[in-house]
Amino acid sequence: MIVVTGTRGIPNIMGGVETHCEQLYPRIVRLGQDVTVIRRKSYVTPDNVADAYEGVKLVDLYCPRKKAIEAAVHTFLAVLKARRMGADIVHIHAIGPGLMVPLARLLGLKVVVTNHGPDYDRDKWGGVAKWALKMGERLATKYANEVIVISQVIKDLLKEQYGRTDTHLIYNGVPAPTHAHLPAYFAELGIEEGNYLLCCCRFVPEKNLHHVLDALAEVDLKGCRVVWAGDDDSAYATALKERAAAMGVVLTGFVRGERLHSLLTNARGYILPSSHEGLPIALLEAMSYELPVIVSDIPANKEVGLAEECYFPVGDVSALAHRMQAVVDAPSQRVTYDLSPYDWDHIARQTNEIYQRLS
């Protein structure tokens, strides 16, 4: 039995790790594994109450709804639960929950860790939280039986910082696109097909959505709209949404399923100006819909290997505005990308090989 923790949960719970787990573990089940995902109870809403999802068993455990401690506390409880359940392997996602790797090993559990990126680089964390995240990375890297990294950037970091050379590079993935057209939904939003630029992410500081607002002062949209799909419950997000709404940005809130597919199908271009990423699933999704993309030149985004004209220097608002203007001015177009390294079925087989090695 494989028990998964470190994620808020699946399905339909916002976040990159959550999307990763939602795509990965049903495929792992189809490969013959018994998988249980332990969810954070406070994120389970009436529309996703369930005992299972596509063969993945779901267990809900308490966690405090306080960003600085919820991941560590929940993972502590989840590791104890996994021991009581008789788990063979615990798979812990992200470095904050990595603080509990030594506990899991002391309890006799075999541990796989996926490092989704150096979360201590995120702007939202204070000094104590950054220290705890770095310690989680250190403990996870040192004590986990197997470590998965989602980018070469992270693999090199763990080798340089901690001397671990046997990590497994397994990329994030992207499913095949599901094209959709929802005229009534677009009418509700006040947007037209092919005439908007899309941002799709959590509204947290390191995504730099405030830079998009700054750039709008230098862009002639020519009737094109800017649409933001996502949300967050922080003070930063509240202030950001107020400013964005005043500037005419269309705020959809957190969307999934057919509504998200329709936004991706019909966008004129996609913007990701972030200062921190592991390997952004949202960018891969935009690429799967063949959208022209505008992305910051941070290492994780550069690793995707886009054409140089897709990138702008992170934090350079004028350069971002220039790229936005170029997409607005150009005829509507689609771009073909090589997404072969990001096939979820291949990723599931790679991950399952690690489980089999530990069994």
142/250 same-domain check? no
Residue 299 falls inside a structural domain: yes
Sequence-distant (≥ 6) Cβ neighbours of residue 194 within 8 angstroms: 266, 267, 268, 332
- 337 touches 310 (CB < 8 A): no
Residue 178 lies in a domain: no
pLDDT computed for residue 75 by the predictor: 96
Question: Which tens digit of pLDDT belongs to each residue from 61-112?
Answer: 998 877 778 999 999 999 999 999 999 999 999 999 999 999 999 999 999 9
Question: Is residue 177 in a domain?
Answer: no
Q: Are residues 75 and 208 in the same domain?
A: no
Co-location of 252 and 353 in the same domain: no
Is the pLDDT at 118 greater than 90, yes or no? no
Query: Has residue 255 been placed in a domain?
Result: yes
User: Residue written as tokens 């094109």?
Assistant: 224
Is residue 294 situated within a structural domain? yes
Same domain, yes or no: 160 and 47: yes
Of 116, 159, 152, give the one whose Cα is nearest residue 304.
152
Is 20's pLDDT higher than 80? yes
Print the domain residue range for 352: 2-172+343-358
Long-range contacts of 303-306 (CB under 8 A, 24+ apart): 303/151, 303/152, 303/153, 303/279, 304/279, 305/338, 306/337
Averaged pLDDT for residues 36-56: 94
Same-domain status, 312 and 347? no
Model confidence over 180-215: pLDDT tens digits?
A: 999 999 999 999 999 999 999 999 999 999 999 999
Same domain (yes/no): 50, 71: yes
Beta-strand relationship, 56-61 and 89-93: unpaired
The answer on pLDDT for 124 being more than 70 is no
Cα 4–Cα 230–Cα 225 angle in degrees, nearest 5:
150
> Based on the domain organization, do 282 and 200 belong to the same domain?
yes
CATH number, domain with residue 149: 3.40.50.2000
**pLDDT of res. 123:** 64
150, part of any domain = yes
Residue 71 and residue 131 in one domain: yes
Taking CA atoms, 331 is separated from 18, 271, 317, in Å, by 35, 17, 23
Q: What is the mean pLDDT of the chain?
A: 94
What's the domain count of the chain?
Answer: 2
Q: Are residues 215 and 300 in the same domain?
A: yes
pLDDT for position 161: 95
Judge if 282 and 144 occupy the same domain.
Answer: no
In a domain, 39, yes or no: yes
**Same domain for 33 and 63?**
yes
Q: 239 with 354, same domain?
A: no
Residue 81 lies in a domain: yes
pLDDT at 278 (0 to 100): 77
41 pLDDT above the threshold of 80: yes
Q: Is the pLDDT reported for residue 289 higher than 70?
A: yes
Distance of CA 301 to the CA centre of its chain: 13
H-type alpha helices, 147-230: 152-162, 183-189, 209-216
Q: Is pLDDT above 80 for 126?
A: no
Per-residue pLDDT at 281: 85
pLDDT reported for residue 359:
82
